[in-house]
Structure 1
Amino acid sequence: MDLQRLVDTFEFLDNWEDRYRLLIDLGKGLPEFPEEAKTEDNRVEGCVSNVWLVSDVNAGTPPRLEFKADSDAFIVKGLVAILLKAYSGRTPEEILEVDIEGLFNQLGLAQQLTPNRRDGFVAMVKEMRSRAQALQAEPGATGSLH
C-alpha cells in the first residue's frame, strides 16, 4: 500500500477503533526482522517501547537507503510500517523532502496518539533522517549506516 492509498484508507475509516486496527494490521505486515539485530546498538533512543532500526545503502546511482525496523508494541509496529513506507527505498534527498509531519496530521495520528508514542515517532523520524543526511554527506558510502 503506497502512502496516498494509506491516507485514503485512514480517511475512509470514520472511527479511531478501526484506524487503530488498521495500524496494528500494518505492523503485523512488517517483514521479518532478524532476532540478532535486536541489539542495544540498533535500538532507537527516545522510544518508550523497544524499537530497533537497521539500514543498508543500495549502491546504485543515486544510492538509496533501505530500512528494516521492528518494535515490541503493536501500535508502534504500525507506526514503524508507516515510516518504512515513507522512507525505505528512497534517496537521501527524497527522504529529507518527505513531509512526515503533514502525513502524520493527514492520518490524524497527532490527535490520537499518547505523548509517549508521539515522542517515539519523532525519535524514529529523526534517526531515519539522520541516516539520510549521513549518506548525503558521504555519497559513496555503502553497507549499513548507524
Structure 2
Amino acid sequence: MTSRSYIVASPRQANEILNHLYQQEIKPHTAKGARGRIRWETVTLYYRHQLRKLFHGPVLRDISEQVWLRDPITGCRVRYVPKVWKEFFAQLFIEPTFEEYTVKSTGEVKVRERRRSTEELNDDEFQEFVTQVQAFATVDLGVEFTEQDEEQ
C-alpha cells in the first residue's frame, strides 16, 4: 500500500500536485485494477485571508498614517494612501515576471513585464513580502507599528 501526503498553499500548486499524482500514481495503478482514496484535509484555516487582512489593514494603515514625504514638485510634505504604498512595495519587493504576446497588426512576438501583484504570491512568499515591508517601514521610514486587538 502506497500513501502520499502533500502540503499545498495555492491553487496552482494544488493543480501541479494533482496532475503529478494522476500521471504517476493514480493512472498506472487504476489501469491495473487497484483502487485508492483521494482525500483533502485543511491544515491551516484561512491563512491567506489572515495574511492579507494583516497587510491591507494595520500594516498599510500604520505606514500611510505615519509617513510624510516631501513632494518633489511642490516641496510640501505629503502622505500617501495605502493603495499607493501597496504598489510601491510590490515594485520594490516582488520579482518581475514576463510574458510573450503577439502584436495583431504585424504578427511580431514581443515580451512585456507583467504587473507585479501580491495575488501571484503563495502564502510563504506573501509572508516574506509582509516581513520585508514591515522591516523596510521600520528601518527606512521610521514607522512604529501599533498593537492590534485579536478581534480586528
> Scaled by the length of structure 2, what TM-score is found?
0.24
Return the structure number with greater relative CO, CA threshold 8 A, min gap 6: 1
More helix by share: 1
